Amino acid sequence: MTGRCWLFSDDIAVDGDLMPLEFALQRKVRPENLQDHILSQMQATLAGRIKPGDNIAAGKWSARGNSQIGVLLALAGARVGLVVESIPSGGYRNSINARLRSLPRCPDVRSFVADENISEFHLVSGSLIKQNTDGWTRLK
């Protein structure tokens, strides 16, 4: 996956941060109904700018909270990746069930990428690569 990286802090909640809570309460799970609302609570201007191939990079304890799969289905349906320093077991399990492309244990990801950096994430090798002015650099 190659696209822009969108950088966020630690402690990102599934309901309320990644997606407005109202969708979880309504039990909406169809990606096509949710895609335009990804991260709209955290950064209203970002919701329409996320494109297929983009990656959400976040810190520790990301995708925490109630284990609502709808948000993760929306990310997977939008073909957006999730690269985090750590993720609780419920969020990790649901990311697998949703077939979300993710790197669940990627230490130092927030110090490696900057917001809107072009990045590549290779699911098979479990690596994250960013584009620099003089080429590409791999996160070790």
Give me the CATH number covering residue 84.
Answer: 3.20.19.10
How would you list the strands of the sheet with 2-7, edge to edge? 102-103, 81-84, 55-58, 2-7, 118-122, 127-132, 135-138
Q: Is 101 helix (H, G, I), strand (E, B) or coil?
A: coil
Structural domains in the chain (count): 1
Cα-based distances in Å from 89 to 36, 43, 49, 105, 117: 26, 26, 29, 12, 28
**Amino acid letter for position 58:** A
What per-residue confidence (pLDDT) applies to 67?
Answer: 66
Question: What is the rounded distance in angstroms from the CA atom of residue 54 to the CA atom of residue 33?
Answer: 19
Domain that holds residue 131: 2-138
pLDDT tens digits, 13-68: 877 777 777 777 777 777 777 777 777 777 777 767 788 899 989 989 888 877 67
User: What percentage of residues in the chain have a pLDDT greater than 70?
Assistant: 96
- pTM for this structure? 0.83
